């Protein structure tokens, strides 16, 4: 794991956008694994600016998002599909047919998850997988569990994740209780992983990810075993980690 310590959210976003831009410049046909949440929004804004300035081209890029709430259709404003269009896809020259998010509107979890695994496998897995980290150490919606899930699966969100995500909903009761998420095994197959973390609320999770034992009670700890994992985190998120 390579840890890059930055001052705050803006610098984290700018360093992350540079890593993603470099990937697209080196390989304009890259497969990107993308994440939702508050953390990557700043990096997406900077990627939009780079695209507008002609520095990066999304026309041949394919994207695969980590997860989606179960029960929300693509056009639901709380869906991750909608989030991606709003924060990135509709502002860059990507072909929407090349963007993929698990189909939360498919009530058949088994078939939705198998279909998504097949698509990600056919794409050859991400060249670069972007990740946030949950306060409880989750990546995607792989919540603390008894084992590391391999493929895409349906998860029951933990009370702490429902609570953390309720800030984005008018009524906390509206937060979906389940989601479809890529497994830790799929994330580990990406050629490079880029984890972003900002703020004191992430400090325990970042310490467990980087310095704790590799255990499924902290799904992000599996990334210690990834051969090319970059963590860009700010001072607040790294407050409980040793200064290297
Ligand atoms: P956040 O979520 O970016 O909104 O903090 C991260 C995550 O839960 O993976």
Model pLDDT, residue 112: 97
Q: Is the pLDDT of residue 56 over 80?
A: yes
Reference 32, options 52, 16, 49; nearest CA is 16
**Residue numbers of the domain that contains 161:** 2-234
- Does residue 243 sit within a domain? no
Q: Work out how many domains the chain is built from and give that number.
A: 1
The 10s digit of each residue's pLDDT in 67-111 is 999 999 989 999 999 999 999 999 999 999 999 999 999 999 999
- Does residue 173 sit within a domain? yes
Lowest-confidence range among 7-16, 45-54, 115-124, 158-167?
158-167
Q: Is the pLDDT of residue 195 over 80?
A: yes
- Does residue 141 sit within a domain? yes
pTM > 0.95: yes or no: yes
Residue of 39, 197, 219 to test ligand 1 pocket, by largest number of atoms within 8 Å of CB: 39
- Does residue 116 sit within a domain? yes
Residue of 80, 87, 134, 175 to test ligand 1 pocket, by largest number of atoms within 8 Å of CB: 134
- Does residue 64 sit within a domain? yes
Alpha helices by DSSP H, listed for 37-140, are 41-52, 80-87, 109-122
Spell out which residues line ligand 1, taking CB within 6 angstroms: 37-39, 132-134
- Does residue 242 sit within a domain? no
The pLDDT > 90 percentage for the chain reads 95
> What ligand 1 atom has the least distance to the C-alpha of 198?
5
> Hey, which residues are catalytic here?
67, 136, 138, 143
Q: The domain that contains 225 carries what CATH number? A: 3.40.50.1360
Model pLDDT, residue 188: 98
- Does residue 244 sit within a domain? no
- The H-or-E segment that residue 6 falls in is strand 2-6
- Does residue 240 sit within a domain? no
CA-to-CA separations, 48 to 64, 86, 136, 166, 219, in angstroms, rounded: 18, 11, 30, 27, 30
């Amino acid at each position: 794991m390579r840890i890059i310590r930055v001052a705050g959210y803006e610098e984290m976003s700018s360093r992350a956008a540079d890593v993603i831009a470099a990937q697209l410049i080196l390989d304009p046909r890259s497969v990107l694994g993308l994440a939702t949440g508050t953390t990557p929004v700043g990096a997406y804004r900077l990627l939009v600016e780079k695209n507008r300035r002609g520095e990066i081209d999304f026309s041949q890029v394919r994207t695969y998002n980590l997860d989606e709430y179960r029960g929300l259709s693509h056009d639901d404003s709380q869906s991750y599909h909608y989030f991606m269009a709003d924060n990135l896809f509709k502002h860059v020259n990507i072909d929407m047919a090349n963007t993929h998010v698990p189909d939360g509107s498919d009530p058949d979890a088994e078939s939705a998850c198998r279909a998504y695994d097949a698509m990600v496998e056919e794409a050859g897995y991400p060249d670069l997988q972007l990740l946030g980290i949950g306060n409880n150490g989750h990546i995607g919606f792989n919540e603390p569990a008894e084992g590391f899930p391999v493929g895409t699966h349906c998860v029951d969100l933990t009370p702490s994740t429902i609570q953390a995500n309720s800030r984005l909903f008018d009524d906390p009761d509206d937060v979906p209780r389940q989601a479809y998420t890529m497994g830790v095994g799929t994330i580990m197959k990406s050629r490079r992983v880029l984890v972003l973390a900002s703020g004191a609320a992430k400090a325990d999770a970042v310490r467990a990810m980087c310095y704790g034992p590799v255990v499924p009670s902290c799904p992000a700890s599996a990334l210690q075993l990834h051969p090319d994992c970059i963590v860009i985190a700010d001072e607040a998120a790294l407050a409980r980690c040793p200064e290297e």
